[in-house]
Chain A
Amino acid sequence: MYRIHLPNFEGPFDLLLYFIRRDELDIYDIPISKITEEFQSYVRVMKLLDLELAGEFILMASTLMYIKAKLLLPKPKDENGEEIEDPRTELVQKLLEYKQIKEASEELRHAEEKNLHYHERKFFNNDESAEVIYTNTTMFDLLTAFKTAVDRIDNAIQEHVVELIPISVEEQKVELVKIVNMRGRIKFLDFTSNKPKSFIVVTFLALLELIRSNELFISQDDLFNDIIISPSINLN
């Protein structure tokens, strides 16, 4: 069984933010029906590929449907005749909070890279004369250490069936761009038919990255039809 953590989308919020950024939507006024459709088609494609989708995506799809439905109803008013809170409010707040952290983590990435090559001294001779105070001796440090030890047995007991994936996402990205540029356009399901699941997964992940970086373009005649992959030409 596969449990896919898409490298590009850390979760449903990330995917939603991607749609919002791509289509230059106003985060404070999200067009719910449009984004619900986008989200659902993403979920459908994942299902089409027979990939097990993290439950959170399904949950988000239904949350979006719920908000959409609520927006269609006449807006309830409170006793002063003022409109009660927009059903999108909570979602927007969550998206903003997520975005706030996401942007901070990008800054942390720079800090990490800057400090990657500072190495500390690792070996200290035991100086018997000095009085030693250990600084990492709390109950929780102990608990964490015990957990790590027992986890290791846990992993050793598990049988690991590791499916070897002969190609990496990086390699497949190069390959895809080459093929698409050569043939003009390809159909995703054609391209991946009769291929092992691992190949399909890697291809799909490569495709997602390429779409994100605008190196390839995809289109679909209908939600359930094959995805057509073509070179990225500015069609707008």
Chain B
Amino acid sequence: MIRTAITTSPIDAAALLAEVTTDATGATALFLGTVREVNDGRAVTGIEYSAYTAMAGEELQRIAKEASERFDGLRIAVEHRVGTLALREISVAIAVAHARRAPALETSRTIIEALKQRVPIWKRESYVDGDRQWVDPTTAHVSATAP
């Protein structure tokens, strides 16, 4: 079972847990990305996630499918949110269940690493001083844009 989605709605982590856990699974791994208050030393008030939505949805599905092929019987649900998020809100949730813990844990990690490399989603941080910047992980700091 694989379900992936790019969503504008708040992510319900408990719902994802319930979705992947069955009588046949014994281990569920959940990864959540959440908005945090400080990045690169600046106080963040919120993040706007935007996406090339059509490709992001397809790429996320490809990532989950590739990861699912390493072990039999994986159950995977992934949601990435887009739009404006407040502090502590969930930007991404990856829930993976399996009979055994190693496949669940390893698949969860595989998916978040690939997602961060490949899914066309971008984030612009808003700061306490009113400035906004696009985050560029390839330069390890934010790139300045018009506020």
Is chain B found bound to chain A in the same assembly?
no
Q: List residues of chain A with CB under 8 Å of any chain B CB.
A: none
Q: List residues of chain B with CB under 8 Å of any chain A CB.
A: none
